[in-house]
Amino acid sequence: MKKHTLFAAIALAAIPLVSVADENHEIIEKVMKDGMKGDESPLARVLDGTASEKETGSLAALILTMKGTKAPVGDQAKYEEKVTELIAAMDAVSGGDKGEKAIGRLDKASNCKACHTDHKPKK
């Protein structure tokens, strides 16, 4: 009987971990698919200067949702540095800085491979 109680306690304790992992995955996936993926993505339009102010602001708000997410894999501190830099670079551009330096900073901060290499789970 004690084994069943222990098993139930362990199973119940794992539920919040799965929920947090699922929530992080959903947030990250939404940002990637809705904001950053593809040649016609909002990010691509921001980088090439064709995005409207509204679209730029919406992308900034979407990227901000990544704040506080957990690294799917890899070092959490390095992941947070990348997310923080992406948010800061996007905020600068959405705040009106459309100069070459700000766009270059955003382009570098949004480099897919840099983040995927260290933090995307392998299939």
Write out pLDDT tens, residues 25-63.
Answer: 999 999 999 999 999 999 999 999 999 999 999 999 999
* Total number of domains in the chain: 1
Query: Which residue did the predictor score with more confidence, 52 or 17?
Result: 52
Residues 6+ apart with CB under 8 A from 70: 20, 21, 24, 76, 79
| pLDDT (0 to 100) of residue 89 | 98
pLDDT at 5 over 80: no
Domain residues for the domain of 39 are 2-119
Alpha carbons 16 and 22: distance in angstroms, whole number = 10
Radius of gyration (Cα) for the chain, nearest Å? Answer: 18
Kindly indicate the confidence band of residue 4, based on its pLDDT and cuts at 50, 70 and 90.
Answer: low
pTM of this prediction? 0.82
In contact, 102 and 53? CB cutoff 8 Å: no
